[in-house]
Amino acid sequence: MNRLLKSREILLVVIIAIMVASFSTRAPGFASPGNLANIFNDTSILIILALGQMTVILTKSIDLSVAANLAFTGMAVAMTNAAYPDLPLALLIVMAIGIGAFLGAINGYLVWALQIPPIVVTLGTLTIYRGMAFVLSGGGWVNAHQMTPSFLNIPRMPVLGLPILSWIAIVIVLGAWFVLTRLPFGRAAYASGGNPTAAVYAGIDIGWTRFLAFVLSGALAGLSSYLWVSRYAVAYVDIAAGFELDTVAACVIGGISIAGGIGSVAGAVLGALFLGVIKNALPVIGISPFAQMAISGIVIVLAVVFNARAEKKAGRIILRDRAAPEVTA
């Protein structure tokens, strides 16, 4: 079983390679380095968001408000840029991360202090944040001509052959790997999802860990909001609608257990890339973009089935089911 879990990432790499190879038989040039770099760049935002989502899921929670957070923060940043073109970009990015982290902290506080189930909290804040984006903008749009050139162009600037957007994603991936595998917070996140009761006895503050995970997820959503708005050169209320499901899908495909405690950064990244390859391949092989939703649905269901098979514990006890519900402290 251990070997199976370890090979999960390798399996995904193989599947993605087979997909790319078979798509390139239909569309020559699909597997060219330039196009692959393009796909990676296109998937960068999903990768960043999936890593935040992964951290939350590791602690046995879920954050359905990431896309709404992105919409609100993106609107706030774009409107600030349109109103005060002289503000330096660095300040705007700090502001985006700050607002995102604050919205994430609200989620985290409700989960931590009031112990409301995360799915209920984030279902609620999902509508609240998107509604606030409407209140903030009055339903209006911020268009490309209102944004400053540096705001729009910096993520596109190529450095060593890759746009800065891709480099940001790479830095975040390395950062997430460092935080989750090398820092106490990472261990705490795995522990409080894997076995909450044992984590408490080990002196881990589960509530605080979950709070931090939500703040991290919110901060990454904030960063992504700037990247999203500058990439698509427009901000309106409905940007990234439903994108929270893509982040969950990327995690589930990447082998992150929805029950918490299991998963790797590589898995989340590969899960996101898997979706990115499919999304980019559909128009190339002549399938309607409307099919994308159904395909990701099928992939999520299959991935859940597959995960359940992989997680099944050896030597189960009577009645083939997990024991009585554990008490989260």
Residues lying near another protein in the complex (CB under 8 A): 62, 110, 114-117, 119-121, 123-128, 130-132, 134-135, 139, 237, 245, 248-249, 252, 258-259, 288, 290-298, 300-301, 304-305, 308, 319, 321, 323-325, 327-328
d(CA 196, CA 201): 9
* Closer Cβ to another protein, 3 or 320, answer by number: 320
CB of 38 to another protein, least distance (A): 25
Q: Which is nearer to another protein, 15 or 164 (CB)?
A: 15
DSSP string, 175-197: HHHHHHHHSHHHHHHHHHHH-HH
Q: Which is nearer to another protein, 29 or 242 (CB)?
A: 242
* Pick 15 or 36: Cβ nearer another protein: 15
CB of 249 to another protein, least distance (A): 8
Which residue is it, tokens 């190529």? 158
Listing DSSP states for 75-125 in one string gives HHHHHHHHH-TTS-HHHHHHHHHHHHHHHHHHHHHHHHHS---HHHHHHHH
Residue number with CB closer to another protein (31 or 128): 128
CA distance 239 to 68: 8
Burial call 170-200: b when 16+ CB within 10 Å, e when fewer: eebbeebbebbeeeebbbbbbbbbbbbeebb
Beta-carbon contacts of residue 118 (< 8 Å; ≥ 6 apart): 56, 61, 62, 63, 107, 111, 210
The smaller minimum CB distance to another protein, of residues 57 and 147, is found at 57
Give the nearer residue to another protein in terms of CB position, either 139 or 184.
Answer: 139
Minimum distance of another protein from residue 61's CB (angstroms): 11
CB of 123 to another protein, least distance (A): 5
Nearer to another protein, 139 or 175 (CB): 139
Classify residue 256 by its DSSP letter.
-
Cβ(243)–Cβ(66) below 8 Å:
yes
Q: How far apart are CA 46 and CA 39, in angstroms?
A: 11
| Cβ at position 112, least distance to another protein in Å | 12
Angle at which helix 2-26 crosses helix 292-311, to 10 degrees, equals 160
Q: How many CB atoms lie within 10 A of CB 165?
A: 21
Look at residue 159 and give its three-state secondary structure: strand
Nearest by Cα to 267 from 180, 206, 194: 180
Tally DSSP H helices, then E strands, for the chain. 13, 2
Q: Do residues 224 and 45 make contact, with C-beta atoms less than 8 angstroms apart?
A: yes
Least distance to another protein, CB of residue 209, Å: 18
CB of 135 to another protein, least distance (A): 6
* Closest CB to another protein among residues 3, 312: 312
Shortest distance, position 29 Cβ to another protein, whole Å: 27
CB of 124 to another protein, least distance (A): 4
